Each structure stands twice: as C-alpha cells, then as structure tokens.
Amino acid sequence: MAGASPSSHDGPPRPESGPWTVYFAIVNALAFLASVVLALMFIAMITDVVQRMVAARPAQWPVPVIEYMMHFLVLFGAPYALTKKSHVLVDSFVQMMPLKLGRLVEKAGYVISLVACLIFAAFSATSGLEAWEVGGMDVRAISIPEYVLYLPMVVSFLLLAFGFLYLLTGRDSLMGLAAVEKAGA
C-alpha cells in the first residue's frame, strides 16, 4: 500500500517482490477461504434450523460440520487479522513508555509471539503426525481423520510466526511506534 503510514490500520505495506509477496498472497488466499467457510457455515446453520422446524427427525451432520468450520475459520483468518491489525491489542501501557523502551518492549513481544507460534506449530505438527500414524479419528455425528484438524493449525501458526518476523524486522509496527520513531529521527 503505497503512501500509507506504518501505523495505519490498513495493514502492513506490501512489498513489490521477494518472499513477503508470497507470504501475503498465501495469507490473502486463506482469508478468502475463511470467507467462503463463513458463508458455508451460515448455510449449514440455516439448514439445521429449517430441518429442526420442518423434519420429524433432522439430520445430525450440521452441528459437527459447523464446529469444524469454526475451527477452520479461526485458523484461516488469524494470519490475515494480524496483517490487517484487526485483532485485540492493548498498547496503552507501551504508548506511555519512553520511545526506546516502548520499541524494546514491542520487539520483545514480537519475539515471544514468534516463539510461541513456532512451539504451537511444532506441537500441532507432532500431534498431526501421531494422529496420521495411528489412524486417529475425530468421532462425532460425522467422523474425520484427526490430522485434518491439525494440518491447518500448523499452517496458521507458521504464517503467524512469519507475520511476527515481518514485524520484528521493522517493516511495520502493531503499536505505531515505528512511525513515531521515523518521524522523530
């Protein structure tokens, strides 16, 4: 986004080339997929309500399908929410700090978040591989292999980790301190 300040809530500026272009393309594709999942979830909910009102014995599939859809919706949408700064962020404490201390705390937060995302991605990958090896199934009114639930977790947490790496390298700031620092320099 040319001309936008790093503290704008339109998300980080998009580089013209390089690995970040691929990253943002994947994040945007998953966000689109999340919007499709949301629309399908709405249809499944309406179907469930209509079936309960009309049918003597409604189908059992809508509730577990909606639960699975919520899982995918959150995981597909989280990296996009990070890039668009559309998540909950309490920055009043950091904003009250001197600029250099605020930037240090902000960077520490990025490092902690990056490491946490990598740990969650590794745990999800390990759990998914174990589920694959033993043939684990998530059994509800419909059954699906457990690894299907872990795979988007791995992808989402890795994309979130890359998002925090993007912020850590100073390309953008969730708290707007980069813009303040550049303006004062």
Interval 112-155: pLDDT, tens: 999 999 999 999 999 999 999 999 999 888 889 999 999 999 99
Query: Hey, which residues does 145 pair with through a beta bridge?
Result: 137
The Cα–Cα gap between 181 and 121 comes to: 33
Q: What is the dihedral of CA 6, 19, 100, 80, to 10 degrees?
A: 50
The Cα–Cα gap between 163 and 114 comes to: 8
Global pTM value: 0.81
**What residues does each domain of the chain span?**
19-184
Encoded amino acid at 151, one letter: L
The more confident residue out of 14 and 82 is: 82
The Cα–Cα gap between 8 and 180 comes to: 12
Residue pair 4/10 in contact (Cβ under 8 Å)? The answer is yes
